[in-house]
Structure formats: C-alpha cells, structure tokens
Amino acid sequence: MAKYISDTNSIQVTWNEPEMLLRGGQITKYTVLYYTETNPQDDISEDTHDTELVVVNPYPVTQYIFQVRAYTTVGNGPYSTEVYVVTPPERKFSAISYYPLHAECQDLILFQL
C-alpha cells in the first residue's frame, strides 16, 4: 500500500510480508527501490526492517516507480512487480489501485495517492 499524504507532502509505502511457505528463511530486512519515470538511472535504494517506508517531499506531477524485495537468512528474494505512483499537482487528488507483490505471492500492495 502506498498513499500520498497531503499534510506532510510524502508517499507512504507499506506491504505485507511474503507468506511463510514462499520464504527461504526468516526475514532480516526489506529493500525498497524507487525512481522517477524521467530519471530511472537515478534510482534510490533504501533498507528497512519494517514493512513501511515514507518518501518525503516527492516532486509534484511526477511518476514514481516502486519495487520491494525481502532478504532472509538464506539470501534475497526477487523484486516485486513495479508499481507506479503519480504525485498530484495539488494535494486534493485521491485514487486507489491494487497490484500484486510478485507473481508467486497472493499479497497485494495498495497504492492510494
């Protein structure tokens, strides 16, 4: 799930842990990879132990692409399917879309702008 938070001008990205049967061990961290559509070479990778990341002060009217991957005691999993978020020109826009975390997982990522 990701949502644009107007009072803090940020994008909050949250996700569910992969199902126990799909893991190669205990989860040790997550990596969130994101970039803008216009500058994919300027990607940003942030690690977290939580199932949440907040991107502060995103550019207005910009498409961001997010992917998440889990790391376990055995190694890393694949990145999730790309999820696209377009920031609004004003802070009054709201929309919801659903995307699968990755092909083998039934979890969903909810993006609310």
Question: At residue 58, what is the residue type?
Answer: P
Average pLDDT of the residues of the chain: 80
Residue 87 or 1, more confident: 87
62-78 pLDDT, tens digit per residue, is 999 999 999 999 999 99
Q: Are 100 and 19 in contact (CB under 8 A)?
A: no
- Measuring CA to CA, how many Å separate 56 from each of 7, 8, 16, 106, 107? 11, 8, 21, 29, 25
Q: State percent of the chain over pLDDT 90.
A: 44
pLDDT of amino acid 1: 58
Record the pTM.
0.73
Q: What is the total count of domains within the chain?
A: 1
Measure the CA–CA gap between 19 and 89, rounded to whole angstroms.
Answer: 37
pLDDT of amino acid 90: 62
Query: What CATH number does the domain containing 12 carry?
Result: 2.60.40.10
